[in-house]
Amino acid sequence: MVDKQVNALATALLERVGELAKEMAARVRAFSRDYHYDVVPEEELEEACRIHLGNALRALSGQVPLDTEAAARIGRRRALQNVPLPTVMTAYRIGVKYFWETVVAEARTTSLVGSDVLVAVASAVSELQDSITEAMVSGYHDAVAQRLVAGEHERSALVEALLEGRSMGTDAVWSAAEVLGVPRNGPFAVVAAEVPQIGRQALPEVAALLSRRGIRSAWRLRPDLQLGLVYLRTSRDLEDLAEVLRHHAERRVGVSPSYDDLCHTGDALRFAKVAMRGGDADSDAVTVFDDSPVAVSAAGAPDIMARVATNVLGPIEALPVGDRELLLDTLEVWFGCGGSADEAAKRLYVHPNTVRMRLRRIAERTGRSLTDPRGITELSLALHAVRQTPKPPSSESTGTTEASDS
């Protein structure tokens, strides 16, 4: 008896579904001001109401199962129209309230069902509401996710075009800047970071990390590099960029000099790569081009610098691994301490005389004086060239002969 009464009630309302859809749409418009006519046209909203009403009433009458795909389609449509999800949810609550009020009014007017049967109807309507709303939200999120992916693909393609230095007209550059969320004129900088392995990001979530500091950026992942275009709004932004990179880099990272015209992004990429190669090959060094002239000079012509390194440091490289690394590490720390043996000794946890003894060994073996500007320059360039070249695994002895060679 209950099923027959509910069926009769739902069937009677189905005959008026067009009229009810207009009234429901008007109710949504009246109580949800965000449903602007220019976003969701009046006829489209009425059609959505008709679909939901018909779907719910047919399911309530037992004619067909509930069609949740219809709600999912409408959810996707509202996402594409940029209607905020809370606004859509409010419209659905208004629509469900109207639907229930209509069911109650029809029951009282026609006496098709009694008050006891309305309790069962209320439970059924609640289940329908949950299913429809869940499907709508799922469709909405699906559309948002697709838009995000599509937007990221577009941003990535534009970054790639700029990085490759493709010839782009003024309009194309303006469009690229708009999509990337940066102004047409800089200053900008390009970041080049070595990836730990193919397909893995060198700097995960770097765009979000920079955004928290008010720095806008766009990124592109290549098989061997992760590349970024960064807008430097203030002079402080370059310092913040380097700080973020140093905290999150897993491998070498290079930062180009700043530049003002997006059309010069390809040139900036070349400088960023040189800066990246200026860091030690087996480290997570972050090298800013303008801050590291010696390092980038050594990295700028790797084939030439390899020959220079051999000529200058060949006698050191010929030593057993332990001795070689001991002397090169000491030389590197000494350079890092501004040529102070005392400061270098503190960092190396040895006596200053030990540092001086090692420096004498370097000078004797290489024939370069560590008090002569030319000798210091040659040793510095050669050391950078050695550090920038990855070393293959060695089976040499790691023992040292410092005592006997001193």
**Same domain, yes or no, for 228 and 312?**
no
Residue 397: what pLDDT?
45
Band (pLDDT 50/70/90 cuts) for residue 406 is very low
**Same domain, yes or no, for 8 and 137?**
yes
Q: Quickly count: other Cβ atoms within 10 Å of residue 287's Cβ.
A: 25
Q: How many angstroms separate the CA atoms of 280 and 283, rounded?
A: 5
**Same domain, yes or no, for 283 and 316?**
no
Mean pLDDT on 241-246: 90
Give first-to-last CA distance, the chain, whole Å.
107
Q: Which domain holds residue 20?
A: 2-147
Tens of pLDDT along 208-229? 888 888 888 888 888 888 888 8
The domain total for the chain is 3
> Residue 332 belongs to a domain with what CATH number?
1.10.10.2840
**Same domain, yes or no, for 311 and 288?**
no
**Same domain, yes or no, for 122 and 254?**
no
| Residue indicated by tokens 């699906």 | 142
**Same domain, yes or no, for 20 and 122?**
yes
Q: How many angstroms separate the CA atoms of 94 and 270, rounded?
A: 58
Q: How many angstroms separate the CA atoms of 95 and 91, rounded?
A: 6
Domain end among 259, 292, 325: 292
Three-state DSSP state, 191: strand
**Same domain, yes or no, for 276 and 322?**
no
Q: What are phi and psi of 394, to 5 degrees?
A: -115, 145
In this structure, is residue 87 part of a structural domain?
Answer: yes
In this structure, is residue 400 part of a structural domain?
Answer: yes
Tens of pLDDT along 57-76? 888 777 777 788 888 888 88
Three-state DSSP state, 343: helix
In this structure, is residue 158 part of a structural domain?
Answer: no
303, pLDDT greater than 70? no
Tens of pLDDT along 22-69? 888 888 888 766 555 567 888 888 888 888 888 888 887 777 777 888
What's the full length of the chain, in residues? Answer: 406
**Same domain, yes or no, for 122 and 219?**
no
377, pLDDT greater than 70? yes
**Same domain, yes or no, for 281 and 343?**
no
**Same domain, yes or no, for 130 and 205?**
no
What residues contact residue 160 under an 8 Å CB cut-off, 6+ apart? 220
Most confident of 21-35, 109-123, 297-311: 21-35
% of the chain residues with pLDDT over 90:
1
Q: Do residues 348 and 331 lie in contact, with contact meaning Cβ atoms separated by under 8 Å?
A: no
**Same domain, yes or no, for 281 and 316?**
no
% of the chain residues with pLDDT over 70:
80
In this structure, is residue 183 part of a structural domain?
Answer: no
Q: Quickly count: other Cβ atoms within 10 Å of residue 406's Cβ.
A: 10
Structure tokens at 12: 């009677």
In this structure, is residue 165 part of a structural domain?
Answer: no
Dihedral, CA of residue 178, residue 184, residue 186 and residue 192, to nearest 10: 50
Residue 351: what pLDDT?
92
Domain end among 93, 116, 147: 147
In this structure, is residue 358 part of a structural domain?
Answer: yes
Domain end among 147, 165, 180: 147
**Same domain, yes or no, for 358 and 254?**
no
> Residue 89 belongs to a domain with what CATH number?
1.10.490
In this structure, is residue 105 part of a structural domain?
Answer: yes
Q: Do residues 288 and 268 lie in contact, with contact meaning Cβ atoms separated by under 8 Å?
A: no
In this structure, is residue 159 part of a structural domain?
Answer: no
